[in-house]
Structure 1
Amino acid sequence: MIKAKNIRKSFGQLEVLKGIDLEIPLGKIYSIVGASGAGKTTLLQILGTLSTPDSGEIYFGDQKISAMKEKQLSAFRNREIGFVFQFHHLLPEFTALENVCIPAFIAKTSKAKAETKAKELLQYLGLSDRMEHKPSELSGGEKQRVAMARALINNPSVVMADEPSGNLDSSNRDELHELLFKLRDEMGQTFVIVTHDDHFAERSDKILHIKDGVIG
């Protein structure tokens, strides 16, 4: 489903990615692991179209992402890719429901349709009684579940997550990990996740080890 060919990326004189080749099928959880500075987040951002490689090609199905113009790429990203970060990046002035709806509004989904889908997702994620709460009124685990609902609102082909449990205590971390496997099993959701959590990585469908700029 996602294919990367010979992805290279440098920052100044430092070559971070030195020719990455990978394929990620639908309905699987792939973990990207490696030491700090190995290029995990850089690779995730390139796969998620948030950053461009210096060279190489990325395909989603038969669509060549690396050939898209910025406006086309932004629309593709909004429609096909969901994002979850270590720090949830919820907008503090909006409720959980409003935060989840934002990507749908950007995609020009009607308010009624967006809210219906957002409510369904929040209920599915165990947040039916927290929809009108603002982020400051939610626990860390609840914030990440809201972020997950936001990532899923447009039915993306893939969710990219960068250390999604890295800021959670052990109980909330385990809860989030179980949720990821549930979403894979029940919804067929594809995930690409940067993680330092060896236990989670070992349970994923495949581990991509980055070392010295290549996948070993």
Structure 2
Amino acid sequence: MVIGKNIEKKFGDLKVLKGIDLNIEKGEIVTILGASGAGKTTLLQILGSLDKPSNGEVLINGTNISSLKGNQLARFRNQHIGFVFQFHQLLPEFTALENCMIPGLIAGKSEKDAGNRALKLLNYLGLSDRLEHKPAQLSGGEKQRVAVARALVNDPLVVFADEPSGNLDSKNQDELMDLFVDLRKQFNQTFIIVTHDRHLAEKADRMINIVDGVIVDE
């Protein structure tokens, strides 16, 4: 499903990633664990098409995303990749339902179809009574669940999560990881999660440890 081949990333003379090879299967929940500066977020951004490798390539479901450019890359990202970020990145002027609909509308779905899909996901995630609330009216855990619903609205091939529990208390951290497991069971969804939290990482199917830009064990 997601294959990385000899991924390297340089910033000037600094080599952040030093030849990463990995293969993540459909329906897997994989965590990428590492200390600050280890290169885990850089790797996630490259795997998720937000950045280009200095060397190597990334394939998602057989498509070499490293060779895609401009609108072609943006279209692939919108249709096949979901993102969950530490700070949610919800638009403050829109409701939970509207925030969740946005990727569907960008993909060209009708307002009705995007709304029905968003409504189904938000209901599934226990937010049926928060649909018309704006982000400022939601708790941290609720905002994160809206972000998860938004990531899933286009039924992506893979969801990338960058420190998704970083702003949550321990109870909400556990609930978020349990949610990822439930979503995998329900939708056979693939999740790749960057974290520095070993407790969270160990709940995944597989844990990849990165130290100084290289995988040291799985």
TM-score, with length taken from structure 1: 0.98
Q: 1:60: which partner in 2?
A: 60
8 Å contact from structure 2 (residues 36, 196) kept in 1: no
* Paired letter, 2:66: S
* Aligned counterparts of 2:174 and 2:64: Cα–Cα separation in 1: 36
TM-fit CA distance, 1:10: 0.9
Tell me the alpha carbon deviations over residues 63-114 of structure 1, each in whole angstroms, 9 at most, x when there is no partner.
1111112211100000110000000010000000000000001101000000
Q: Which residue does the alignment assign to 2:85?
A: 85
SS in 2 for 1:131: coil
In 2, the alpha carbon distance for the partners of 1:165 and 1:61 equals 27
Residue 123 (structure 1) aligns with: 123
What displacement does 1:186 show? Answer: 1.8
Match of 2:75 in 1: 75
Q: Which string of whole-angstrom CA distances, capped at 9 and with x for unpartnered residues, describes residues 170-198 of structure 1?
A: 12111111101111122111000001221
Indicate the SS of the match to 1:73. Answer: helix
Which residue matches 1:94?
A: 94
Please provide the CA RMSD for this pair. Answer: 0.8
- Tell me the secondary structure at the aligned position of residue 131 of structure 2: coil
In the alignment, the residues of structure 2 paired with residue 123 and residue 92 of structure 1 have an alpha-carbon distance, to the nearest angstrom, of 21
Give the paired residue count.
Answer: 216
User: C-alpha separation between the residues in 1 aligned to 2:14 and 2:35?
Assistant: 16
Greater shift, 61-70 or 32-41, is seen at: 61-70
> Aligned runs of 1:106-185 on 2, under 5 Å?
106-185=106-185
- What residue is the counterpart of 2:104 in the other structure? 104
Query: Counterpart of 2:96 in structure 1: which amino acid?
Result: A
Superposed CA offset, 1:22-73 (max 9, x none)? 0000001000011110000000000000000111011112211111122111
**8 Å contact 2:10–2:17 — kept in the other structure?**
yes
Mean Cα displacement is larger for which, 116-125 or 54-63? 54-63
Structure 1: how far apart are the matches of 2:5 and 2:163? 24
Q: Does 1:202 align with 2:210?
A: no
One-letter code of the match for 2:156?
P
* Other-structure match for 1:14: 14
Gaps spanning 5+ residues in structure 2: where? none
Identity of aligned residues (%): 63
The separation in 1 between residues aligned to 2:179 and 2:212, in whole angstroms, is 32
SS of the counterpart of 2:35?
A: coil
Q: Deviations over 1:4-26 (max 9, x none)?
A: 10111011211000001000000
Q: Which amino acid aligns with 1:105?
A: L
Q: Which residue of 1 aligns with 2:46?
A: 46
* Structure 2 residue identity aligned to 1:5: K
AA matched with 1:37: G
User: Which runs of 4 or more aligned residues in structure 1 lie more than 4 Å from their structure 2 counterparts after TM superposition?
Assistant: none
- C-alpha distance in 2 between matches for 1:99 and 1:123: 14
